[in-house]
Amino acid sequence: MKRLLLNTCCLLALALTPESLMAQTPAAKPTPVKPGIDCAAGCNFQKQMVEGQPIDTRPTQLPGDHPIFPGQTRAPYHKTADIKVTTLASDLDNPWAVAQLPSGRFLVTEKPGRMRLLNKDGSSYDTITDLPPIFYRGQVGLLDVVLDPKYASNHRIFFTYMRPTDAGNCAMAVASATLNDSKGQLSDVKTIFQTAPYANNTAVNAGSRIAIDPKDGSLFVIIGDRSNGDPVWNMAQQTDNYLGKLIHITADGKPAPGNPKMGLPEIYNIGHRSEQGLAFAPDGRLWEDENGPRGGDKLLIMQPDKNYGWPVYVHGINYPGTLIGDGIVEKTGMEQPLYYWDPAIAPAGLAFYKGKLFPQWQHSVFVGALAAHALLRLELGKDDKVKNEEPLLTDLDQRIRDVRVFGDGAVYVLTDGAHAKLLKLTPK
């Protein structure tokens, strides 16, 4: 099937009209505040690496922002291992995710609507374009990809994408397909889940990652709230739509057994903004990271039937330099992040280190940072507190889109943009 790129935009929603959405947008006038440093153009931490001191010493975007418990933000810097960076592939076109096949080859998604198959050395050996019609614009297009746990026998993959439904509407969708990696072909492509279509004039805050539960093979999928501008709407707090939610479905796209009763049967928890990373820790718990606007980027542990607070509280401000809601940083009954960043770093891919190449990196989680132009290594203590924070790859001055740890113990990184790279990190 040929790719279809539509110059329309979309919003994820369920059984809603433009009028009803606008009615739910807060009508109160935004409260101006003195803006801090806007990190949208990139914030390189290289000059702030002092052993035992936080890597970020700038003032917070939100005046009076403060942690709710010790260690919730600005952990001390600690250098660990020297690394060797090998470029496996370059000139990738806006890649979003990378998976490794049993053969050692790589499968990379590109937002414009292609999957690239790469050899072990990173050289390209095929491009897959026989995908469903994909809406590509701004932050949306072809996004995450993961392998079925039984890929060696069934060759099934799962991926997320924006699916056009008519000339003015599209929806976030989850698809499964059978991959013939020797021929570079997909077959039995099925959209197993999609949100109801909705038209919008922007393509932002899509959110999109898939994490497969190692216990039962069910899929967790994060979906952004699609808020844009000021004031911010409250869709992430409402359970009659999929915006700003973590959903939990079976491999066939049905609501997973045991889901909490939070409105729509696929909803697992609520209160998210623009989620970019999702991964299971070695102990089996599910973690997520997400973007705030100017400040308020979060690292969270996902639990069922919980509310993670957006946009009721936030450790940051909105893009025009205004307060969000009441400008509060906590709310009773809403979960706090394990760790947060203010000003923003724009977290992206998320991966736990499970290899043996870097013994210094045991108990570490990696966060790709788009605005900060770095790969952040967070070392976790027994109480899940972040003990230290180490920016890597800062000398590249590149946005980091995805990070994965495969079976060889190396760390694989995708940079972001029109001429992006696939990098391999090994001990120096």
Of all residues in the chain, the percent with pLDDT exceeding 90 is 77
User: What is the rounded CA–CA span in Å between residue 134 and residue 71?
Assistant: 42
Nearest Cα residue to 125 out of 150, 104, 146? 104
Nearest Cα residue to 223 out of 258, 183, 270? 270
DSSP per-residue codes, 336-391: PPSEEESS---EEEEEE---SS-GGGTTEEEEEETTTTEEEEEEE-TTS-EEEEEE
Residue 52's identity, in one-letter code, is G
pLDDT score, position 77? 96
In the block, residue with structure tokens 């990173």 = 122
Within the chain, what is the greatest distance between any pair of CA atoms? Answer: 58
pLDDT score, position 164? 87
Instruction: Determine which of 37-51, 76-90, 242-256, 373-387 has the lowest per-residue pLDDT on average.
Output: 37-51
Residue 168: is its pLDDT beyond 80? no
- More reliable by pLDDT, 9 or 195: 195
Give all strands (DSSP E) within 136-285, no chain letters.
Answer: 142-147, 156-166, 169-180, 185-194, 208-212, 219-223, 245-249, 267-270, 274-280
pLDDT score, position 204? 77
pLDDT score, position 166? 78
Residues β-bridged to residue 137? 140
pLDDT score, position 332? 97
User: What is the rounded CA–CA span in Å between residue 216 and residue 250?
Assistant: 9
User: What is the rounded CA–CA span in Å between residue 180 and residue 173?
Assistant: 22
Read off the pLDDT band of 18 (50, 70, 90): very low
pLDDT score, position 47? 61
Contact 58, 48 (CB under 8 A): no
Tens digits of per-residue pLDDT, 187-214? 999 999 998 756 454 567 888 999 999 9
- Can you tell me the mean pLDDT for 265-276? 97
pLDDT score, position 198? 61
Residue 352: is its pLDDT beyond 50? yes
> Per the confidence metrics, is the pTM higher than 0.75?
yes
pLDDT score, position 202? 55
In the block, residue with structure tokens 């788009």 = 370
Highest average pLDDT, of 8-12, 50-54, 161-165, 200-204, comes from: 50-54
Of all residues in the chain, the percent with pLDDT exceeding 70 is 86
Residue 407: is its pLDDT beyond 70? yes
List, in order of start, the domains of the chain with CATH numbers.
Answer: 18-427 (2.120.10.30)
Tokens representing residue 303 in the block? 């639990």
Whether the bond into 311 is cis, omega within 30 of 0: yes
Read off the pLDDT band of 229 (50, 70, 90): low
Tens digits of per-residue pLDDT, 76-94? 999 999 999 999 999 999 9
